[in-house]
Amino acid sequence: MKIKKVCHCFGAGEFFGLCEPVKDNDIVIAADGGLETLKKCGITPHFVIGDFDSLGSVPEGGNVQLLPCEKDTTDMFEAAALGVKQGCGTIHLYGGTGGRLDHTLANIQLLKYFSEKGVPTFLHGDGFSVTAVTDGGISLSGKKGGYVSVFALSDKCEGVTLRNLKYELENHTLTNSFPLGVSNEFTEKEAEISVKKGTLAVYYTKGTD
pLDDT in tens, 102-124: 989 999 999 999 999 999 999 99
142 and 105, same domain (yes or no)? no
88 and 159, same domain (yes or no)? no
72 and 148, same domain (yes or no)? no
116 and 138, same domain (yes or no)? no
121 and 138, same domain (yes or no)? no
Boundary (domain end) residue, out of 85, 101, 126:
126
27 and 89, same domain (yes or no)? yes
139 and 188, same domain (yes or no)? yes
Could you tell me the CATH number of the domain that includes residue 98? 3.40.50.10240
- For the chain, first and last CA: distance in Å? 38
Alpha carbons 178 and 22: distance in angstroms, whole number: 38
Contact (Cβ atoms closer than 8 angstroms) between residue 28 and residue 38:
yes
Q: Output the average pLDDT for the chain.
A: 93
Structural domain including 116 reads: 5-126
154 and 178, same domain (yes or no)? yes
pLDDT in tens, 140-190: 998 888 999 999 999 999 999 999 999 999 999 999 999 999 999 999 899
Structural domains of the chain, count: 2
Boundary (domain end) residue, out of 96, 126, 156:
126
Who's near 82: CB < 8 A, 6+ residues apart?
29, 47, 49, 65
pTM for this one?
Answer: 0.93
26 and 89, same domain (yes or no)? yes
88 and 142, same domain (yes or no)? no
One DSSP character per residue, 122-162 reads EEE-SSEEEEEEESSEEEE---TT-EEEEEESSSEEEEEEE
pLDDT in tens, 71-92: 889 999 999 999 999 999 999 9
88 and 148, same domain (yes or no)? no
Could you tell me the CATH number of the domain that includes residue 148? 2.60.120.320
Contact (Cβ atoms closer than 8 angstroms) between residue 138 and residue 90:
no
114 and 152, same domain (yes or no)? no
Boundary (domain end) residue, out of 126, 154, 177:
126
